[in-house]
Structure 1
């Protein structure tokens, strides 16, 4: 099935939404499962499924990898995870804890 998928188009679709939501400063990797970008959320395709996971500072998977058969479902879940990560880091900054990395989305969190 992957030979039928246009990963450039899928990537562009997600990046357009990330841009609209103002999330470009977040660390994320699209369709490159082998990337070692630390603290990134990864969306990739393997064995006929779209998969999402988060990685730590050594690029080890944190928590579970979730799987989807539908790109649209995976896209929604991926964007929700990015948005939740922003909220989580804003809260950390607000209570005086250090975020995972610097981003204009939470560096001056005062809410």
Structure 2
């Protein structure tokens, strides 16, 4: 099924805004090699599927999920974002350095 990626992107960006996650590192439909950063959540369109993954140090790929439905991909994308917040808050609580500086855990 064909989905308008501009509509999918707008919906996902609205969810990110509503959740207050704008300061996290993320990329939506920019192309796998464009604007890559370390510890970034990414969503890309690939042929007939949607890929969601996170980059690690040196922007290497860490776990990749493939979905036929953009809404399942959006859920995974937001789940990863929440996981990064919790992980980094735990790291700071336990005296470890976070993945990067972000107001969501630099309190």
Please report how far the alpha carbon of residue 6 of structure 1 lies from its aligned counterpart in structure 2 after TM superposition: 1.9
Q: Kindly indicate whether residue 18 of structure 2 is the aligned counterpart of residue 20 of structure 1.
A: yes
TM-score by length of 1: 0.88
Is residue 9 from structure 1 mapped to residue 7 from structure 2 by the alignment?
A: yes
Does 2:94 correspond to 1:90? no
RCO comparison, higher one (Cα < 8 Å, 6+) = 2
Give 1:47 shift.
Answer: 2.4
**Number of equivalent positions:** 105
- 2: CA distance, partners of 1:66 / 1:5: 18
Q: Which runs of 5+ in 1 are unaligned?
A: none
Structure 1 segments (4+ residues) deviating >3 Å: none
Following superposition, the deviation at residue 57 of structure 1 comes to 3.1
3-state SS in 2 of match to 1:45: strand
* Residue in 2 that maps onto 1:31: 29
TM-score (norm 2): 0.91
Question: Runs of 5+ in structure 2 lacking a partner?
Answer: none
